[in-house]
Structure 1
Amino acid sequence: MKKQHLTIVARILVKEEHRESVKAELMKLLDVTRAEEGNISYDLHQDNENPNLFLFHERWVNQEYLQKHSQSAHFVQFQKATEGKLEDFTVHKMTEIEN
């Protein structure tokens, strides 16, 4: 039986005038989050047509590890640093469909 990991797709739309500062804050999350217990993958993408649109594709062992991440010092710092700089931040919690 395949393990049912939690997949997160986070869509972050940044106000254009804050694109570079928010991108820098997003980049700060990469290594520290990848080192977190329970993280399987944590990948950041930038849209090819709209450079203000970023997407995280994340995989976590389970919801409990994601919850710990959302309360981590580095994620709380990211939220403070980007306050008022985002148009939208949408998180989709998903489970892979087995074939």
Structure 2
Amino acid sequence: MAEAYLQVIAHYFVKPGNGDAIVKPLTELAAATRAEPKNLYYELFRSPLDPDHFVILEQYSSADGLAEHRETEHFQHLGFGTIIPLLDRREVASHMFPGDAA
């Protein structure tokens, strides 16, 4: 029986010409996030057509996993402190996967 989990899909649109500047902090954030207790999956992808567009796929073992992730020291420092200031915009959608019905 599959367990319920939170799926997050984030689109990061970097200020023009700054795509290369966030690769290293995004990679560091990914590594730190994968070590979080409620994180099940974290991968990032860069568009081959637009080097300033990134997609991040995340899964957490519970609905509060994303909120807890946003409170971590690494997200506060890398996310809010380094990455987000370089973005034109970000679009984040969260969806619960209910798991198998009992």
Q: Same fold (TM over 0.5)?
A: yes
The superposition leaves residues 29-54 of structure 1 with CA deviations (integer Å, 9 ceiling, x where unpaired) of: 11111011011000000011111100
Aligned mates of 2:99, 2:68 — CA distance in 1:
27
Please name the residue that 1:60 is paired with.
60
* Alignment partner of 1:2 is 2:2: yes
Deviation of residue 92 (structure 1)? 0.4
Letter in 2 for 1:94: H
Matches within 5 A, 1:7-86: 7-78=7-78, 79-86=80-87
**Letter of the 1:9 counterpart:** I
Moved more, 11-20 or 43-52: 11-20
Instruction: Calculate the TM-score normalised by the size of structure 2.
Output: 0.86
Q: CA deviation at 1:90?
A: 1.0
Structure 2 unaligned regions, length at least 5: none
- What number of residue pairs does the alignment pair up? 99
Q: Which runs of 4+ in 1 moved over 4 A?
A: none
Q: Contact between 2:10 and 2:90, CA under 8 Å: does it hold in 1?
A: yes
Say what the alpha-carbon RMSD is for the aligned residues. Answer: 1.8
Q: CA deviation at 1:22?
A: 1.4
Give aligned-pair identity as a percent: 23
Q: Secondary structure at the match of 2:3?
A: coil
Give the gaps of 5 or more residues in structure 1: none
